[in-house]
Amino acid sequence: MNWGPNAIPLAGGSASSNGDAPFGYQDPAGVDRAQPRASKFRDFLDGQSSTILMSETIRARKAFHLDNRGDILNDDDGAYQFSTVLHPNSAIPDQMVCVNVSDPAMPCTNSVTNILAAARSRHIGGGVVVGMGDGAVRFISENIDLDTWRAISTMDGREDPGQY
């Protein structure tokens, strides 16, 4: 689920606010974690066809139960969220509670305050498949301009993401 160009707060962390993505907390500081953002179609000021709802991520192997990345059936922190702070398939490590499995496709550094988890895949073509707000499914290159990647992750910045 798309949390936009923001850090995702863990207990003791605080949310950043670099634009509203479809998913996140109503409380911008992330203190009241019981209040998720409830985005409505009218909130998509950029248009639903210009806003990412979700992206694929790589799931950690089951043996690494402390690493929830890509586990969409799990509501633990870091399980289903990704942010667009980093490019898709970034070589910069995710920051979260994780197990560094020495997998170049899943670099990770432990953090107990915030999550910065990139959208990730193992596609030969180097990118990720995303679901847009209008239901379209698109392949986004990992070489996408970072400002464009961030723009299409927010729903109300009124950016013009151009052709991606």
Assess contact for 101 and 23: CB atoms under 8 A. Answer: no
Q: Does 144 have pLDDT greater than 80?
A: yes
What pLDDT is attached to residue 15? Answer: 56
- Is pLDDT at 116 greater than 90 in this prediction? no
Task: Return the higher-pLDDT residue of 158 and 48.
Answer: 48
Give the pTM: 0.81
How many percent of the chain have pLDDT more than 70?
70
Percent of the chain with pLDDT over 90: 28
The predicted pLDDT at position 27 comes to 65
Q: What is the mean pLDDT of the chain?
A: 78
